[in-house]
Amino acid sequence: MNQHLKHHLKELEEMHINNEVRKSREELDKILADDFFEIGSSGYMFNKKECLDSGVALTEMSLHNYEIHPLAPDVVLTTYFIVDKTRNRNTLRSSIWKHIDGRWQLYFHQGTITPLKLNKVIKE
């Protein structure tokens, strides 16, 4: 497994959940691929334009059990566990990152609310 790639994508993922980045249309625009789409933990689907126009949830989150699963030389599936302190819930997350125009961009994201607690899933 490429540890450099894993570290780089984890940094991008942490930027994606950072409230300062999430408040910035410009920063989100850099992270999200033009054809980005998401299946939110709400059960609704969103595209890049909707995320940029409406904004995204601003919550205090921590990321755990980050793993990468290369699908192709320029496509990686990532999986991880989020503790959302603001909404007092946990989610299992997956993202597909694509290397587009010389940089990694978030192409797809999904969050699924889970009853699992951090102490039951922690691998770190």
Q: What is the model's pLDDT at position 2?
A: 87
> Which secondary structure element, helix H or strand E, spans residue 21, and what is its range?
helix 19-23
The single-letter DSSP state of residue 49 is: H
The full 3-state SS of 86-101, as one line of letters, equals CCCEEEEEEEEEEEEC
If residue 41 lies in a helix (H) or strand (E), which one and from where to where? none
Question: Residue 45 corresponds to which tokens in the numbers above?
Answer: 């689907």
Share of the chain above pLDDT 90, in %: 68
Put simply, whether the predicted model's pTM sits higher than 0.85 gets the answer: yes
Instruction: Residue 75: give the domain boundaries.
Output: 3-121
- Residues 73-81 have a mean pLDDT of 97
Mean pLDDT of 47-63: 86
The predicted-structure confidence for 13-44, as pLDDT tens digits, reads as follows: 999 888 888 888 899 999 999 999 999 888 89
Domain count, the chain: 1
Find the CATH number of the domain harbouring 108. 3.10.450.50
